[in-house]
Each structure stands twice: as structure tokens, then as C-alpha cells.
Amino acid sequence: MNKEKVIFAFFIVLAMTLNFGFFLGDIDNPAHHNIYEFFAAIAVSMVCTVLKFGDRTHLGALMLATSLVADLQLVIAAAIWGYAENVSMVGMTPEHMSSVVSLTGGALMANVISVVLLMVETIMVRR
């Protein structure tokens, strides 16, 4: 068993599951979306991106692209959350929360594609 591949797959699946856990719930209800889970999803997604930099294959490039998309959407969602909580006079509104959750839904789709590509790569490996 290749420990590097295990760690790589672990972080990819963890990024997807954390993002999914945050995404679940009413789209406009901040009580259904934990900020610490959101932070964990961002951190693990960034770790996944760093882990994908070493792969020089075509599938590796596609996986890096999906990871960058997920990172971008999560960072934009964090910026909206930060704006709503710290700059906006009204605080976190249902509209702000809907935007945050929608962006994490897009990041979740990118994570799902990344996991599918990981499975394709695993199936293609010949011994």
C-alpha cells in the first residue's frame, strides 16, 4: 500500500465530506451552517490543492483545476460571510447566507468531480 496515495485520497474525500456537512440545511438559515465546519472545509481544501501540485499527469491537471475551483468558491463565500458579519450594518441576512451556501454548493460539485477523477485514476492503474 502506498502511504502517499492513502493520504492524498484521505484529504480529497475529507474535503468533500466537510463541504457536504456545511452545505446541508436550510439555505438561508445561519443556524444550520457551522462557521467552524466552514473553516475546516476551506483549510482541508487548501491542503488538497497543495497535495495536487506534484502530479504531472493529465488527470492530475484536471484534479488540480477542480481543487482550484473549489478553493476560489470557498474563499469568495468566506469573503461574503466576513463582509456580512463585520462590514454590513445589518449583519448576516438570509440573502448573504444563501450566497455563502450556494457558493459552497458549487465547491461541493468541484469536490465530487475531484473524487470521481480519483476513482477513475485508481481504476486505470495497472499492476
- Residue 54's pLDDT is 79
Q: Tell me the mean pLDDT in the region 8-27.
A: 94
- Residue 127's pLDDT is 57
- Confidence (pTM): 0.91
- Residue 85's pLDDT is 93
**pLDDT over 90 (residue 80):** yes
What residues contact 68, with CB distance under 8 A and at least 6 apart?
Answer: 49
Could you give phi then psi for residue 84, rounded to 5 degrees?
Answer: -60, -40
- Residue 67's pLDDT is 95
- The pLDDT mean for the chain works out to 93
Q: Tell me the mean pLDDT in the region 90-117.
A: 95
Could you give phi then psi for residue 70, rounded to 5 degrees?
Answer: -60, -45
Residue 127 CA to residue 54 CA, distance in Å, equals: 22
Q: Tell me the mean pLDDT in the region 10-16.
A: 95
Confidence at 77, pLDDT banded by 50, 70, 90:
very high
Residue 87 CA to residue 82 CA, distance in Å, equals: 7
- Residue 41's pLDDT is 96
Residue 27 CA to residue 49 CA, distance in Å, equals: 27
Domain ranges of the chain: 3-124
